[in-house]
Structure 1
Amino acid sequence: MKEKLLVIVGPTAVGKTALSIEIAKKFHGEIISGDSMQVYQGMNIGTAKITEQEKEGIPHHMLDILDPAQPFSVADFQTLVQQYIQEIAIRGRQPIIAGGTGLYIQSVLYDYQFADSRRSAAYQQKIEQELEQNGLEYVYNRLKRVDPVQAEKIHPNNIRRLVRALEVYDRTGLTMTEYQARQSAEARYDFHIIGLQMERELLYQRINQRVDLMIENGLIEEVAQLLQKGYEGTQAMRGIGYKEIIPYVKGEQSLEEAVDTLKRNSRRFAKRQYTWFNNKMPVHWYEITPETSTVVFQNILTDLEGFYSFT
């Protein structure tokens, strides 16, 4: 029998954390963070990491497990999360994934196979040398020749995705498009996905307010400390909430410009999150506002009784 798994998704600042706590309290759950940035130690404010007080005694996993200098891939995420799901289920508790991006969640639910396509530092260096010698257009055109479908999906300036697509092809003999098509369509778990959505202008207002609160709570100081420790060139510091603040800390931009950029990028990310889940995953959506959250949460708890009672 497949293990039951609840997933809570939705754009940033919509209320997923609060909902996950309520569900975990009622159904004896433990929460697995689906946020690939919250794995890093010392990156708390910019990732909106839950505090000990906010946890209300509910066990949380996938928080503060890596140094910011360590890389973290979707394959790493999948391995760790599936391990936590199994351990939680063995304890007789209910695993709940809260948050996360579409590909990361899909990799867990459908057991994507990454054994032959883990990132290679040597390959990354090889492509970077090729980029330096021949230019971005040359490397991008190579991807267009071997996998035109994937090339259409990748902006030429998105070097990380460009390198990844070429790496999969060079190391497996399959294009990224072929590789993704081979992934299993059968779910690994008996899962149920809840999505929270909010009217766009209201959501954007909440995102802007969250960014302002992050600044008040010490985001500038957090980024400065990470830079002082030598983390500027790491994968972790390319995350939203950090890359936008670095120019201000280094004196290259005004605080107003940096904050405006962070708000804009956060709003765009929220839109992409919603679009992905709405188009690609079987989400049960609930419309929410700050005024209706209590009623909506209660409706969700009632609806979940059927999911957890059915065996």
Structure 2
Amino acid sequence: MMRISLSMCKQTVVLPDRASGMLNLVDFFSPRRQKEKVVILLGATGTGKSRLSIDLATRFPAEIINSDKIQAHEGLDIATNKITEEERCGIPHHLLGVINPNTDFTATNFVDMATHAMDSILFRSQLPIIAGGSNSYIEALVDDKDYRFRSKYECCFLWVDVAMPVLHHYVSERVDKMVENGMVDEVRKYFDSNANYTRGIRKAIGVPEFDRYFRAEPFLDKQSRAKLLQEAIQEIKRNTCKLASRQLEKIHRLRNKKNWKIHRLDATGVFLRRGKEADEAWEEFVAGPSTEMVAEFLYNVSSEALVTKAALRECIAQCLVA
């Protein structure tokens, strides 16, 4: 299971000022800027959006806003794959595990709460990083009818992409790991024979799939229970892969039909490696390039600027190991 390495919980990067030939956080938080800046992370389930959000939030002064409509609900931390307290590295998270599990969390709810969270984060001179898999909710926020968001905010869209066959294999392994970590017992606590699986947290993949198993469980022998359990687990894997495919289609639509300027980061190589090699590949293909893109976005670095990309790269590297 691809988890956030606690070694990534580093100090916030504070770059030297322009007078010394480098960059300054004052450039980002200057009242002269016409628009506030927001970083938005996209990607199918399991691609590493949460990990990247932590990487960026430990390298820049930032807070994270969850945009996964299921993870916004309280409960089912294993089944919904919520980032743990330890993995958050002390970074403040908003809209994560705060909604009543029996209450629907609509796109309108998300827009209202995310807008409030962004205002609060910016008031503290922090960068809002929005990360999650509910692309329709992000679309509702960014492309609102009155164009209010676009008129107020400038966005840097980063897309963590993984080749679908590789991602499908990974999410299948991730489901097995979730089962090992106690997902079945966790979901069993939410089982209700009269439950409505179209409302609240019970819409989450991993909940309705167990319904038939929980109903039949008391009446089956050990072998039959094991068979029915495996059928439920396989259904969860299929539905998770279908979700990933739908999420990818939505990202392509935002990029190709709505012309969102989305920067793609190919993380396939990360998922083909293990251990230290995977961490090194993550830094090379995802975290490193993302850090450079966000730095350029925040500090208006261009090829014509006095500070070259090579100098920026060296400065960031020095700050990270300091």
Is the TM value for this pair above 0.5?
yes
In the TM superposition, what is the alpha-carbon distance from 1:219 to its structure 2 partner?
1.1
- 1:103 aligned onto 2:103: no
Deviates more, 1:16-25 or 1:289-298: 289-298
**What TM-score comes out, normalization by structure 2 length?**
0.70
Q: Verify the 8 A CA contact 1:111 1:188 in the aligned structure 2.
A: no
- 2:130 is aligned with what amino acid? I
Matched pairs, number = 242
SS at match of 1:4: strand
Compared CA separation, residues 216 and 232, structure 1 to 2 (3 A): farther
TM superposition outliers: structure 1 runs of 4+ over 3 Å: 183-188, 228-235
Question: Aligned to 1:299, which of 279, 289, 296?
Answer: 289
Question: Aligned to 1:7, which of 20, 40, 45?
Answer: 40
Q: What are the Cα deviations for residues 224-280 of structure 1, in whole angstroms up to 9, with x where unaligned?
A: 111269855533212212121222222278111111111011001101111111222
- 1:286 aligned onto 2:265: yes
Q: What are the Cα deviations for residues 132-173 of structure 1, in whole angstroms up to 9, with x where unaligned?
A: xxxxxxxxxxxxxxxxxxxxxxxxxxxxxxxxxxxxxxxxxx
Supply the distance in 2 between the matched residues of 1:229 and 1:251 (Cα, whole angstroms): 11
SS at match of 1:41: coil
Partner of 2:167: 203
Question: Aligned to 1:18, which of 39, 47, 51?
Answer: 51
Partner of 2:187: 223
Q: How does 1:40-59 map to 2 (within 5 A)?
A: 40-59=73-92
Partner of 1:62: 95
Supply the distance in 1 between the matched residues of 2:159 and 2:297 (Cα, whole angstroms): 15
- 1:212 aligned onto 2:173: no
Supply the distance in 2 between the matched residues of 1:230 and 1:32 (Cα, whole angstroms): 33
Structure 2 unaligned segments of length 5 or more: list them.
1-33, 218-226, 271-277, 302-322
Deviates more, 1:288-297 or 1:220-229: 220-229
Supply the distance in 2 between the matched residues of 1:16 and 1:200 (Cα, whole angstroms): 16
Q: Verify the 8 A CA contact 1:111 1:187 in the aligned structure 2.
A: no
In the TM superposition, what is the alpha-carbon distance from 1:111 to its structure 2 partner?
2.8
Partner of 1:135: none
Supply the distance in 2 between the matched residues of 1:211 and 1:251 (Cα, whole angstroms): 22
Partner of 1:37: 70
- 1:295 is aligned with what amino acid? E
Partner of 1:131: none
Compared CA separation, residues 225 and 191, structure 1 to 2 (3 A): same
SS at match of 2:208: coil
Root mean square deviation, CA, Å: 2.2
Compared CA separation, residues 39 and 229, structure 1 to 2 (3 A): farther
Q: What are the Cα deviations for residues 108-130 of structure 1, in whole angstroms up to 9, with x where unaligned?
A: 112347xxxxxxxxxxxxxxxxx
Q: Verify the 8 A CA contact 1:226 1:232 in the aligned structure 2.
A: no
